[in-house]
Amino acid sequence: MRPTKRRNLIFMISDGFGIASETMAREYVQTTNNYPLEWASTLDDLLVGTTCTHSSNSLVTDSAAGATAFSCAQKTYNGAVGVNHERKPCGTILEAAKLAGYMTGLVSTSRITHATPGSFAAHVVHRDMEDLIAQHMVSSNSSLGPAPVVDLMMGGGRCYFAPQPPNEAAGNPTKSCRSDELDLWQFAQQKYGYTAVSTRKQFDDLKATDKLPLLGLFTDSHMSYEIDRDAAEEPSLTEMTQKALDMLHTATTAQNTSAVPGFFIMIEGARIDMAAHDNDPASHLHDIIEYWNAVTAVRRFIDTHPDTLMIGTSDHETGGLTLGFDPEYVWHPNVLSPVKSSAETICSEIRPLSKDHRALVNVVTTKVLPKLLGITNATREEINGIVDGAGGSSKACKHAVGHVVSDRAHLGWTTGGHTGADVGLYAYGAGSSGIRGNKDNTHVGQLLADFLDVNPESVTPMLAHLKTVQDDFDETATDEKTGKTVRV
């Protein structure tokens, strides 16, 4: 049954974004711009409640289970992408919307095959099965109809659409992360009529009237942190959001409105989470501010299209961020201002120097600290901390860099992983006045379905025979503490 009333739904996910992170970004903007203390971000006056985030097998969720709670309105285990706790496919809000006639879209600053976007259009038993996720995202499940379920995709992750070895023809991805010879970049274009774009110029040349479906992937893996992003090479989250909304709106209004009742799109600020995993406060900050910019673009769209609802929340909090730590009741936002590079980018430069101690110390003292982190009076302890971190794992290096900045700013991190804290729930536009209070993440998923007047569970029987396990994927690992083999 097709809905009789036109409506659009924009679901925004700020991955790993907790209440403390919102406070940090707000107070940074307040103090560095001399705004009054009552200044509020674009998100602050949209706050309507909080979201509980636990999964079916842990009080601390991962992004896959968190996103599946939104997409399927069901609890599932950590690592599950679009499958329930019994490892069976569950129908998603995006698939139900597509069957009801809506146009659909996914936008993310991660690989488009990553856990969060993947959970809306794919069904695999483990989030690392990105080869199979990519297949699901550009293919048609025959039970759902002849066309692919996603009309528009923008983000990173070209490498999971390129064969092994890569197709060297012009316009194809030059790097492959796949374990097989499938050329999904060409398959999507030739079989399902996708327009595939991968460069900044191709993005800029896209018009609102261009035909869908569209596959726009602008990096081999994740898109750059906002602090590192080269605007001449990659569009921002805000630019992708604006372009996606314009194209979906044009596509749905160019046709008979009874045939196309509107659109559903999920927009994710993914790298907020990854910066928090790295305990990298400046990268975390800049991706939050860019997410705010995307929210502002969505608000402007809704103001001129009042049949649209935006719901925003996070799948979980990451890092256990604290503003201030003993013994002083203070934190210093200005410390973040001169930082010019992410810990990820810094470590990609200094870790290869770990075997040459003199060269490493020289780069850390003459470039990393004064020019990239804005620290001109580094202590011996800070220098040694980064040098020692560069000789360890990638995570150890990024934490070493992030902690030097964090300690000076008096910002604390309790973990390099996720926490079980509740996260903010935000809403704006049509029907938002009825969304209030603390909601379980599955309840948020049900709110999405109710607004579009669709039922994801009605899709589930159509997915019964879908392949959910990637060929040659090893689902086992050795537990470091017990030495036993466990399912990942």
- 3-state SS, the chain, equals CCCCCCCEEEEEEECECCHHHHHHHHHHHHHHCCCCCCCCCCCHHHEEEEEECCCCCCCCCCHHHHHHHHHHCCCCCCCCECECCCCCECCCHHHHHHHCCCEEEEEEEEECCCHHHHHHHCCECCCCCHHHHHHHHHCCCHHHCCCCCCCEEEEECHHHHCCCCCCCCCCCCCCCCCCCCCCHHHHHHHHHCCEEECCHHHHHHCCCCCCCCEEEECCCCCCCCCCCCCCCCCCCHHHHHHHHHHHHHHHHHCCCCCCCCCEEEEEEECHHHHHHHCCCHHHHHHHHHHHHHHHHHHHHHHHHCCCEEEEEECCCEECCEEECECCECCCCHHHHCCCCCCHHHHHHHHHHHCCCHHHHHHHHHHHHHHHHCCCCCCCHHHHHHHHHHHCCCHHHHHHHHHHHHHHHHCEEECCCCEECCCEEEEEEECCHHHCCEEEEHHHHHHHHHHHHCCCHHHCHHHHCCCCCCCCCCCCEEECCCCCCEEEC
Distance CA 125, CA 106 (A): 21
Spot the catalytic one: 56, 63, 314, 406: 63
**pLDDT value at position 464?**
93
pLDDT digits (tens, 9 = 90+) for 327-373: 999 999 999 999 999 999 999 999 999 999 999 999 999 999 999 99
Q: How confident is the model at residue 117 (pLDDT cuts 50, 70, 90)?
A: very high
pLDDT at 84 over 90: yes
**pLDDT value at position 375?**
98
Cα–Cα distance list, 38 to 44, 45, 48, 322, 409 (Å) = 11, 12, 18, 21, 22
Q: What is the pTM of this model?
A: 0.96
**pLDDT value at position 485?**
42
**pLDDT value at position 478?**
45
**pLDDT value at position 85?**
97
For the segment 80-97, the average pLDDT, to the nearest whole number, is 98
pLDDT at 243 over 90: yes
Residue 11 one-letter amino acid = F
Q: What percent of the chain has pLDDT over 90?
A: 90
**63 assigned to active site:** yes
Q: What radius of gyration, in Å, describes the C-alpha atoms of the chain?
A: 22
Distance of CA 392 to the CA centre of its chain: 27
**pLDDT value at position 232?**
98
pLDDT at 482 over 90: no
Q: How confident is the model at residue 473 (pLDDT cuts 50, 70, 90)?
A: confident
Residue 189, CB-side half-sphere exposure with 13 Å CA sphere:
11
For the segment 11-27, the average pLDDT, to the nearest whole number, is 98
For the segment 319-331, the average pLDDT, to the nearest whole number, is 95
Of the two residues 133 and 475, the one the predictor is more confident about is 133
pLDDT digits (tens, 9 = 90+) for 296-308: 999 999 999 999 9
CB 176 within 8 A of CB 195: no
- Mean pLDDT (the chain) is 94
Q: How confident is the model at residue 421 (pLDDT cuts 50, 70, 90)?
A: very high
Sign of CA dihedral 217, 219, 225, 226: negative
The residues facing 10 across adjacent strands are 265, 310
Closest to 413 measured CA to CA, from 325, 285, 286, 331: 325
Of 45-54, 207-216, 249-258, which gets the smallest average pLDDT?
Answer: 249-258
pLDDT at 91 over 70: yes
Q: How confident is the model at residue 169 (pLDDT cuts 50, 70, 90)?
A: confident
**pLDDT value at position 457?**
97
**pLDDT value at position 145?**
79
**pLDDT value at position 486?**
45
Q: How confident is the model at residue 477 (pLDDT cuts 50, 70, 90)?
A: low
Q: What percent of the chain has pLDDT over 70?
A: 95
pLDDT digits (tens, 9 = 90+) for 130-164: 999 999 999 866 678 788 899 999 999 999 999 99
